[in-house]
Amino acid sequence: MVSRVGFRHLLLIPLLFMVIGIDPPLVLSLMFGSYAVSGPGVYLWKKARGLPMDLPPILWFNEAKRTDKRTDKAQSERASTQENDETGTDA
């Protein structure tokens, strides 16, 4: 099933090539500079507004692993404490 492409989208691609064609080094440098500044800019904007920071997916995975390790350690400590209470020995 093929979806339709809007007329505006058909004009944007040639327009982009035309703008790049005016002065490729300058235009591509400006595009790259805008892209490079956008990351820190969005971070500072969100920090100033108090909005939540989105973590990249790899950081979600690492945070989940760290949380699981802390949870496993806490559970094992509780289990050993309960065993010591039941047997009447102190660690």
Q: Is 70 a residue whose pLDDT tops 90?
A: no
Q: Is the pTM of this model over 0.95?
A: no
Query: 28 is in which domain, residue-wise?
Result: 1-54
Total count of domains within the chain? 2
Q: What's the average model confidence in pLDDT over 59-86? A: 60
pLDDT digits (tens, 9 = 90+) for 7-52: 888 999 999 999 999 999 999 999 999 999 998 998 898 889 888 8
Q: According to the model, what pLDDT value does residue 67 have?
A: 56
48 with 75, same domain: the answer is no
Q: According to the model, what pLDDT value does residue 28 have?
A: 96
Q: According to the model, what pLDDT value does residue 34 have?
A: 96
Distance CA 64, CA 72 (A): 12
32 with 76, same domain: the answer is no
Distance CA 80, CA 69 (A): 16
CA 4 and chain centroid, separation:
31
Q: According to the model, what pLDDT value does residue 82 have?
A: 65
69 with 36, same domain: the answer is no
